[in-house]
Amino acid sequence: MVQLISNFTAAATAATLLRILDIRKDHAFDVTEAGCTDLTPVQSYSAATVGNQAWALVGGPLSFQIVSFCNTFLTYPGAQTGAIALRSQATTHPVASSSWIISLVNPAIPTGPWNIIEEASNTYLTVWDQVVATQGQGTPITLEDGNPDDIRQQFWFIAA
């Protein structure tokens, strides 16, 4: 049984490592090729108990930095300069330049799913659909306008 995480402030305080799953719960946020360099893309990849899918939350209670297994921060390429976030690929960076609001899709269900919103731009992390041609490969995670009906913007958190 998968243990869903719902208390992010407690997870941040306890330095709990998490996996962030897409709405299907079979793909997770993944630092591509376990790369720990500046602006490594973050993709949605088949969920596994591997380091490059382990994330920690820092901060709270309203907004967080999301930190990868190699101590880089979830962000997008233009965050350091204030460039437009819309349509940007999620990446990692050694300096915390994005804060994320983690918001319940339906407040009546406290375990999720959740939206992950880049605070400064008010854009939502969005997982691109898997298609037959990309089965077994990663798919992009980008920042897009929020859409309450878009399940590609809904995520679950579990212990890593």
pTM: 0.92
Helix, strand, coil: what percent of the chain each, to 5?
A: 10, 35, 50
For domain 8-159, the CATH class is: mainly beta
Q: Do 67 and 75 meet the contact criterion of CB atoms below 8 Å apart?
A: no
Q: Do 125 and 143 meet the contact criterion of CB atoms below 8 Å apart?
A: yes
Indicate the domain borders of the chain.
Answer: 8-159
pLDDT band at 133 (very low <50, low <70, confident <90, very high): low
Residue 65 has pLDDT above 90, yes or no: yes
At residue 41's C-alpha, the angle toward residues 90 and 152, to 5°, is 45
State the Cα–Cα distance between residues 66 and 57, nearest whole angstrom: 5
Comparing 138 with 20, which gets the higher pLDDT? 20
pLDDT of residue 121: 96
pLDDT in tens, 69-104: 999 999 999 998 888 999 999 999 999 889 999 999
Length of the chain in terms of residues written = 160
